[in-house]
Amino acid sequence: MAEKVLMKGNEAVAEAAIRAGCRLYFAYPITPQSELIEYMAKMLPKVDGTFVQAESEVAAINMVYGASGTGRRVMTSSSSPGISLKMEGISYIAGANLPAVIINVQRGGPGLGDIQPAQGDYFQATKGGGHGDYRLIVLAPSTVQEFADMADLAFDLADKYRNPVMILSDGLLGQMMEPVEFKPAKTKEEMEKLNKQHYDWCMHPNEDEPDHHHHEINSLEIDPLILEQHVIKLGKKYDKITKNEQRHEEYNISADNKVIVVAFGTAARIAKSAIDQLQEEGINVGMIRPITVWPYPYEAISNVLNDKIKKVVVCELNLGQMIEDVKLAVNGKLPVEFLGKVGGILFTPDEIKAKIMDNRGE
């Protein structure tokens, strides 16, 4: 087993991305993700990788578009206001069926907001953000270890589906240090294989006649009938992802649960400690933690509902965004309550405990 190291989330995910074969990274500095860009600036040259500090987040995501068009593993990262700027490029990447990994170390918004942890970009990440009918695969880590592990997963999913993948983290996970164990780095042979995996469609050196290829990286289809087919095909891909890639964690689910908590990311780790404390007091509260927030694990939530459960409590670091998906999953069968914190402020386990106790109906 690899040795555990104490590392910030921002650095751990950067290291994990390099190990996963990422040799191209383009970004612009922004708090609270700057350690990520700094780590890449320092480490990529040591593995013959390429780091470019772009003139803007807009430029960075378009560099990602270009690099991804050559079939190579490429990543960018930012925090909320910068992710908004990347939305144009993300739509093009999705439209052109390109794999790419985008990390959002969320902070408080809207506008310039603040630089503390928040989950206010849930809608942007899971419901669109950019223009057009497209989907991002969105992974939501809740520990530094999981944040790091998701780099590998994100690249694999991106390559498998030729689709952009976002890791939806936040300032807390980016800034905090926790012990991390890394997977071994890709070997030279694995890298060679990775670099050629997309040769059937990507831009790469041509052979002489008669094998000359003309590969187009493109999201433009001016003929409505052709665009229609293109978007329908994208939709089929999203259906496949929805079917195959839902991930969630069940915590303390038991027959005597009267309340089920649903939370993701940092909110989920705080909720866990409230649940642990209640368990010590003899009260069993279950939790579903969506790991993919798109595709959303609707069935995982509806499957745990039973007659004994009185309420579902959603905890988020926003005004209530994921709660809409939870309501879809619950489908009117039970009341869905909400506990939120905004402004980059975290709730305490005590606040979650109090919310749960209020809703046990005793």
Partner 1 sequence: MEIIAQRPKSLTDLQFTYCPGCTHGISHRIIAEAIDELEMRNQMMGVAPVGCSVFAYKFFDCDMAEAAHGRAPAVATGMKRARPDMHVFTYQGDGDLAAIGTAEIIHAANRGEHISVFFVNNAIYGMTGGQMAPTTLPGMKTTTSPYGRDETDIGYPIQACELLNSLRAPYFIERVSLLSPQDILKATKIVKKALQFNKEERGFTFVEFVSTCPTNWGLAPLEAMKWAKENMLPYFPLGNFRDKSIEGGE
Partner 2 sequence: MKTEIISSGFGGQGALTIGKFLAKAGMREGLNVSWLPSYGPEMRGGTANVSAVISDRPIASPLVTYPDILIALNQPSIDKFGPNIKEGGLLISNTDMCPHGTKRKDITVIKAPMNKIAKEIGNMMVLNMVAIGIVIGKTGIVKYETLEEDLSKFLKKKNPQLLEANLKAIKKGIEIGKK
- Note the residues at the interface with partner 2 (CB under 8 A): 4, 6, 31-32, 115-116, 171-172, 175-179, 269-274, 276, 346, 348-349
- Of 253 and 334, the one with the shorter C-beta distance to partner 2 is 253
* Helix axis angle, 265-280 to 349-358, nearest 10°: 70
| E strand or H helix at 170 | strand 164-170
**Residue selected from 184, 212, 224, 225 as contacting partner 1 according to rule CB under 8 A:** 212
Site string for partner 1, 1-40 (x = CB under 8 A): -----------------------x-x--------------
Amino acid at 147: F
- Of 97 and 142, the one with the shorter C-beta distance to partner 2 is 142
**Residue selected from 14, 105, 203, 283 as contacting partner 1 according to rule CB under 8 A:** 203
Cα separation, 304 vs 255, in Å, equals 9
**The pairing of beta strand 24-27 with beta strand 5-8:** unpaired
- Of 175 and 257, the one with the shorter C-beta distance to partner 2 is 175
DSSP 195: H
Of the ranges 86-94, 253-261, 280-288, 321-329, which one interacts with partner 1 (CB under 8 A)?
86-94
| E strand or H helix at 144 | helix 144-161
Cα separation, 255 vs 51, in Å, equals 52
Site string for partner 1, 219-258 (x = CB under 8 A): xx--------------------------------------
Using an 8 Å Cβ cutoff, are 62 and 87 in contact? no
State the minimum distance, in angstroms, from the CB of residue 102 to partner 1: 14
Per rule CB under 8 A, is residue 269 in the interface with partner 1?
A: no
Q: Is 82 exposed, middle or buried (0-12, 13-18, 19+ CB in 10 A)?
A: buried
- Of 183 and 213, the one with the shorter C-beta distance to partner 1 is 213
- Of 17 and 263, the one with the shorter C-beta distance to partner 1 is 17
State the minimum distance, in angstroms, from the CB of residue 34 to partner 1: 20
Of the ranges 12-20, 84-92, 111-119, 167-175, which one interacts with partner 1 (CB under 8 A)?
84-92
Using an 8 Å Cβ cutoff, are 105 and 170 in contact? yes
Q: Measured at the alpha carbon of residue 205, what is the angle toward residues 203 and 211, in degrees to the nearest 5? A: 95
Q: Of partner 1, partner 2, none, which one does residue 58 interact with (CB within 5 to 8 Å by kind)? A: partner 1
Using an 8 Å Cβ cutoff, are 295 and 246 in contact? yes
Per rule CB under 8 A, is residue 48 in the interface with partner 1?
A: no
Q: Which residue has the tokens 């329908």?
A: 232
Per rule CB under 8 A, is residue 331 in the interface with partner 1?
A: no
Q: Dihedrals φ, ψ of 180, to 5°?
A: -135, 145
Show the tokens assigned to 184: 């071994």
| Residues contacting residue 208 through CB under 8 Å, at least 6 positions apart | none
Contact positions vs partner 1 (CB under 8 A): 24, 26, 50, 52, 54-56, 58-60, 62-70, 72, 74, 88-89, 92, 96, 203-208, 212-220
